[in-house]
Amino acid sequence: MTGAADQKTDQTKNATVRKTLISWFRENGRDLPWRRTRDPWRILVSEVMLQQIQVARAIPFYERFTERFPTVDALATAPLAEAIRAWGDLGRYRRVVNLHRTARIVVEEHEGRIPADPEVLVTLPGIGPYTAGAVACFAFERDVPFFDTNMHRVLHRVYFGPEVPEPAAKRKELLALAAGLVPVGDGWAWNQAVMEFGALHCTARRPRCEECPVSGHCSAHPGMPGALAAAPRAPKREPADRYEDSNRYLRGRVLAQLREARAADGLELRDIQSRLRRDETEVGLPRLRGAVRSLEDDGLACTVPARDSDDSSPGRAVAEERAAYDARPPGGAGGEGLAGIRVTLP
């Protein structure tokens, strides 16, 4: 086949895949709150929340957060502690710190308007190429390419074949392909369609190839189910890797106690320990201090010496006690020297 004929075939395939997936999306796409709006602030909040978080879980958090902070200005003028409270226990707490910083930058440097240009968006805290492209496309209807895991998988399968045991195409190649596929004037529908198709139909482990509207144009068809069955599975996690034993879980529990405490002067470390015990989370003070320190490092908590602590030097507890997770404290195995620390939201 000549180069010109190849090109024509590609164009025909591209046009068919685009038309088919957009029409599939119109019939099967979920009615999600962030699909009913083009408000850049709401789109940004949804995209920040949705990274590695399931749609169904994110919805109530999105509703509550945007009710409390309906505009970028509302978040920019609120204390960070309020933003952390409104974030609730969605997890991935550094995101809310970054979102708060982004809101302030947007107000101070962009006249309160979320930028439409992905190259400007990507300079804001916590916004990577995916989020920048998604905001530009879903809020401003710009015909820009980008992809998340679902989109990556769909495009790889349709154009290069199964992504297992090893991907046949590099990320760069897929991005170039994605750029050529975005239909002029219909980028919103196309990007939503590919994303939704990957989430609901061409899923990672159980693609529905037998009833697939693009199977006739898919390079992975009909071998996809067989390739998945033959692909090595990730080893099962050992009990030691349980989420409840992780520092991520502990950070979330500590933040939950600080949010619920409400008092502006926070809680003493030992109070936090007692509250966690009531919630059936047993943790020693040194490990708890390590979790608090990592929250401080991420801008999610502050510490000061407790009011009745013998230590009268402000900040000394922070400056001198550099306990890592599970390290023994200077004052003894029980962590007595750590108890006189007060922890607050920032």
In whole angstroms, what is the distance from residue 62 CA to residue 47 CA?
A: 10
Residues touching ligand SF4, count (CB under 6 A): 14
**CA contacts within 13 A on the Cβ side of 292:** 32
47: annotated active-site residue: yes
CB of 320: closest distance to ligand SF4 in angstroms?
A: 57
- At 269, give phi and psi (nearest 5°): -55, -40
Among residues 27, 47, 196, 268, which one is catalytic?
A: 47
Q: Which structure tokens are listed for 304?
A: 């000061």
CB of 134: closest distance to ligand SF4 in angstroms?
A: 22
Q: Which of 312, 332, 314, 318 is nearest to 269 (CA)?
A: 318
Examine residue 48 and tell whether it contacts ligand SF4 (CB under 6 A). no
- Output the DSSP codes for 43-75: HHHHHHHHTTS-HHHHHHHHHHHHHH--SHHHH
Do residues 197 and 157 lie in contact, with contact meaning Cβ atoms separated by under 8 Å? no
Q: Is the CB of 211 or the CB of 282 nearer to ligand SF4?
A: 211
Examine residue 291 and tell whether it contacts ligand SF4 (CB under 6 A). no
Relative orientation angle of helices 269-278 and 285-297, to the nearest 10 degrees: 110
Examine residue 133 and tell whether it contacts ligand SF4 (CB under 6 A). no
> Among 21, 83, 209, 272, which residue sits at the site for ligand SF4 (rule: CB under 6 A)?
209
Examine residue 214 and tell whether it contacts ligand SF4 (CB under 6 A). yes
Q: Are strands 267-268 and 302-305 parallel, antiparallel or unpaired?
A: unpaired
Element (H, E) at 100: helix 94-109
Examine residue 221 and tell whether it contacts ligand SF4 (CB under 6 A). yes
> Among 18, 95, 157, 275, which residue sits at the site for ligand SF4 (rule: CB under 6 A)?
157
CB of 182: closest distance to ligand SF4 in angstroms?
A: 18
> Among 106, 181, 202, 345, which residue sits at the site for ligand SF4 (rule: CB under 6 A)?
202
Examine residue 228 and tell whether it contacts ligand SF4 (CB under 6 A). no
Catalytic residues: 47
Positions that interact with ligand SF4 (CB under 6 A): 157-158, 201-202, 207-209, 212, 214-215, 218, 220-221, 224
